[in-house]
Amino acid sequence: MRIILTIAILAAGSLSTFAQQQPQGFVKGTVRNEQGQAVPFANISIPGIKKGTVAGANGAYVLAAPAGSHTLRFSGVGFTTTEQSVSLSADTTVQDVTMKQSADLQEVIVSASRKKETLDEVPSSVTIVSPREVEAQKGINNNITAILANTVPGLAINDNTTGNTGQTLRGRNVLVMVDGIPQSTPLRNGGRDMRTIDPSAIERIEVIKGATAIYGNGADGGLINYITKKGDKSKTGIHGQTSIGANTQLVKAQHTGGFSAGQLLSGAYKKWDFVVSGHYEQTGVYKDANGVVNSPEYSLGESQIWNGFTRIGYDIDQRNRLELMYNFFGSQQRSDYILKPGKYLDSAATGIIGKRPGDPEGTPYNHNASLHWSSEGIIGGTDLDVNVYMQRFKTVYSWGPTFEFGGQSQITSRKQGVRVNFSSPVHISANYDLSLVYGLDYMNDVTAQSLVDGRTWVPEMDMKNYAPYAQVKLNLFKDFVFKAGARFENINIGIPDYTTVKQLNRVTGEFTEGGVSVAGGDLSYNALVYNAGLRYNKFRFFKPFISYSQSFSIMELGRILRAAKENTVSQLKTEAVIANNYEAGFNSTLGPIELEGSYYISTSKLGSSFLEKNGKFEIQRAPEKVYGFEIAADARILHNLGAGASYSYIEGKQDIDDNGKYGDAADKYLGSDRIAPPKVTAYVRYAPIERLNLRLQMLHSGKRERFERVNGLYSYGTGPVEGFTSFSFLGSLQLDQHSSLGLGVENLFNADYYTVTSQWNARNENYVKGTGARINLNYSYKF
């Protein structure tokens, strides 16, 4: 760690010295389209020195660069790249630009390397769910897990529940963040990290696929970063949007009605800007295609959902900015139904009238707050970002009889941390440019799982994580981008003395499991993880890349602790997982067609998968190999007609006998709680007139049948998964310059199917059908 920090400090000093030898100039302006409207998040760069920035939501930008003559390059989503000459001096130069629409997409990402870049600069697979796509998908279903399932290749399908258990990315767990603030609880993964913010507060979503340690513990399959909305400075005074909505089932609609209301305000005054929004939603009873009430267990039916969001920005000067962000999310179910178990592979679990025991199930609160300081050219040409954050999270599960005297568990998590990130460019020659991103992360994560009545199931795990990192980007001969980096993880977890909770032994029918007194202690982990990648960008019709990346995670420590049979923590098997991701892929622009594809292999010498024995979960530690491919295409057929599709395939196995081979008789396929069946998505959008937009989309889940019955039964994760296909529709009509009307129908043709999760779960009480056709009507007024 000392070596890495020393290298980073020396590099920063040398780069800063280099930059200080050249006088600095500034250029600012606004990026607009041909109609005079602001172009949000446009990319502005100076190719000659590999210096760049990204415009804000109002199209405004500020860029620092050495004084002299330069060529500014402007690019953005759906616009033709534009170049303009500019001469910079010590005074600020104003350079506005008008961009023309084009089919060439140059979307900007932030979280892949902690520096704003275009996709052409990232040698890995990235999916960006644009603001337009977020708006379209939430018009069909406001559940964020459904939005992700319909837009992200490689991500497993959701099942319209409060959680995202089984919704893995490329067969591994994913780290979920809000503006870089971790939402996941990898120490005790409760499957509630994707639904921790309402889509009304989200600007866009960035999904980085494959193992990555750049944000720390838990990103074996990649990361999902929700980028929240920002204030709009392009309009004077206060402006905003009011929205109301109503939804209901189309078959036997009694008691299925729900409604929503939201308000967003944004404005700017001198150096200040702000955005504030609130959203409330009440859902009705959820029913299947036949009008039968779905099981209320973990259902989103009869739920109340709140979200409050605010962001305040202050421009200290042209190079320094402060932003304060806060978001509250809450979701609780208050149902008049109780579970009627089904019969696995025969009949569905349903809901019948009854009083639900225990506290309301769901997430009563999730608080996120951050203070972000960005400084451009703080020392010569070096930029600085400092992000201080906190999160407070609590989620409650349904009451169950498996605990002695019955019980209801809850997971709580407290996180606070700081990220310090430097970015230093170096112009070496006409053919070589080097930039260095480096810094230090600190996070304190205290996670526990207890019963609502106060009994400790998983004690407080107090994790402190220090991690210095460095990332080098080298531009070679203008067309090659090479990246390499390393991160040193230094983790200490303190665990107090505790006693495991007594639970039901499913074999004897008595409460003989648990009750073990365990002496606490400290667990320490250290690991150096690497990444490297190369991309070639000369030809628009074929831009290939190759990459290698590692991740580090402490998988499901909480499950190990709550099932402890040893009397000291030091005797438990708690080794961390290091995953290795190998990938090759490409992006292509063929006229009006955008095409991308990738093939990947992910390995880990020590895996972490669930194994069910006699109704009790154990953690199976064996070498793992996950592999698959993805392909996606989008086409602009006419100016008012477009279409797109994607296909994802994933498979994975365990090397049970640990001989380096995965085809032996002893080796096993990974469960379907990890490996999703093949997924196909497709859509067609059409605008018959300027004010009317129509969209039809499809989601298909394929089959996965890899396991046999044991003693006549399927265990958790091994149930056979049958395929199904669901269509959805969205229509939006602009009534006037202020008002618009939206009509969305989920499961348009009322397909009757069992959810993927309920099929591989292989339990009578969890054998649940998908939601039938549901209509969603929305009205919005902008001012």
Residues sharing a CB contact under 8 Å with residue 689, sequence separation 6 or more, in sequence order: none
Instruction: Output the pLDDT for position 19.
Output: 39
Range with the lowest mean pLDDT among 39-43, 354-358, 537-541, 610-614?
Answer: 610-614
Nearest to 48 by CA among 82, 81, 85: 85
Instruction: Output the pLDDT for position 430.
Output: 66
pLDDT band at 371 (very low <50, low <70, confident <90, very high): very high
Range with the lowest mean pLDDT among 279-293, 323-337, 654-668?
Answer: 654-668
The answer to whether 259 and 284 have CB atoms below 8 angstroms apart is no
Biggest CA–CA distance in the chain, Å, is: 82
Residue 553 has pLDDT above 90, yes or no: no
Give the long-range contacts of residues 604-607, CB within 8 A, separation 24 or more: 604/220, 604/577, 604/578, 604/579, 604/580, 605/578, 606/575, 606/576, 606/577, 606/578, 607/577, 607/654
Please give the single-letter amino acid code of residue 459: P
Nearest to 462 by CA among 490, 418, 495, 417: 495
Domains observed in the chain: 2-106 (2.60.40.1120), 126-782 (2.40.170.20)
Instruction: Output the pLDDT for position 317.
Output: 92
Range with the lowest mean pLDDT among 105-119, 359-373, 454-468, 545-559?
Answer: 105-119
Instruction: Output the pLDDT for position 217.
Output: 76
Q: Convert the pLDDT of each residue in 388-401 to its tens digit.
A: 999 999 999 999 99
Who wins on pLDDT, 215 or 655?
Answer: 655
Q: How far apart are alpha carbons 583 and 547 in whole angstroms?
A: 5
Mean pLDDT of 82-97: 83
Q: Convert the pLDDT of each residue in 731-758 to its tens digit.
A: 999 999 899 999 999 999 999 999 999 9
Range with the lowest mean pLDDT among 381-385, 583-587, 644-648, 698-702?
Answer: 381-385
Structure tokens at 605: 């010498």
Range with the lowest mean pLDDT among 119-128, 214-223, 543-552?
Answer: 214-223
pLDDT band at 32 (very low <50, low <70, confident <90, very high): confident
Range with the lowest mean pLDDT among 139-153, 264-278, 434-448, 550-564?
Answer: 550-564
pLDDT band at 686 (very low <50, low <70, confident <90, very high): very high
> Is the pTM value of this prediction over 0.75?
yes
Instruction: Output the pLDDT for position 131.
Output: 93
Count helices and strands (H / E) in the chain.
5, 44
Who wins on pLDDT, 732 or 52?
Answer: 732
Range with the lowest mean pLDDT among 39-43, 170-174, 569-573, 654-658?
Answer: 39-43
Structure tokens at 649: 């395939």
Round the CA-based radius of gyration of the chain to a whole number and report it.
Answer: 26
pLDDT band at 219 (very low <50, low <70, confident <90, very high): confident
Q: How far apart are alpha carbons 127 and 107 in whole angstroms?
A: 10
Q: Convert the pLDDT of each residue in 99-119 to its tens digit.
A: 876 544 445 676 766 778 888
pLDDT band at 23 (very low <50, low <70, confident <90, very high): low
Q: How far apart are alpha carbons 88 and 67 in whole angstroms?
A: 5
Nearest to 567 by CA among 497, 503, 505, 642: 497
Mean pLDDT rounded to a whole number for the chain: 89
Mean pLDDT of 355-367: 96
Q: Convert the pLDDT of each residue in 177-193 to its tens digit.
A: 999 999 999 899 999 99
Please give the distance of CA 744 from its chain centroid, rounded to a whole number.
Answer: 24
Range with the lowest mean pLDDT among 53-57, 268-272, 409-413, 690-694?
Answer: 53-57
Stretch (H or E) spanning 146: helix 144-151
Torsion sign, CA atoms 349, 350, 355, 356: positive
Residue 558 has pLDDT above 80, yes or no: yes
Mean pLDDT of 320-328: 97
Instruction: Output the pLDDT for position 335.
Output: 96
